[in-house]
Structure 1
Amino acid sequence: MMVELGKYAGTVLGAYGVTIALLLGLVWMTLRQGAKMRRRLEEQERRMGRNG
């Protein structure tokens, strides 16, 4: 089933494309930041384990 977008098809599809790209970028940034924080936490825990 294809929705008829008429003369605004380019604008609507472009908006969908930009939205999807932004959401994917946010997900990627969140995952990257989470991995970075996890590494920092593990390093801190190793240091704390050595120092008692």
Structure 2
Amino acid sequence: MMPDLGKYAFAVLASYGATFALLAALVGVTVWHRAKSIRALAESEARMEKSDG
């Protein structure tokens, strides 16, 4: 099912590879920041509960 890309095969496939790598990196950074934010929020809420009681 691969179309014949001729002399442009490397450029096209490299572009696809770079795109998928950048998308994977973006998803990874987003998940990492989300986990970091959740931890920071939990710590902040724990501090607030200690000061209330």
The 2-side partners of 1:39 and 1:3 are apart by 47
Which TM-score applies when normalising by structure 2?
Answer: 0.93
Deviating 4+ runs (over 3 angstroms): none
Q: Are residues 1:33 and 2:11 paired?
A: no
Shift of 1:3: 1.3
Counterpart amino acid of residue 26 in structure 1? L
Q: CA RMSD in A?
A: 0.6
Unaligned runs of 5+ in 1: none
TM-score, length-scaled by structure 1: 0.94
Q: How many residue pairs are counted as aligned between the two chains? A: 52
Q: SS at the partner of 1:3? A: coil
Alpha-carbon shift at residue 2 of structure 1 (Å)? 1.4
> Identity of counterpart residues, as a percentage?
50
Counterparts of 2:2 and 2:17 in 1: how far apart (Å)? 17
How far off its partner does 1:20 sit?
Answer: 0.5
Q: Matches of 2:2 and 2:36 in 1, distance apart? A: 42
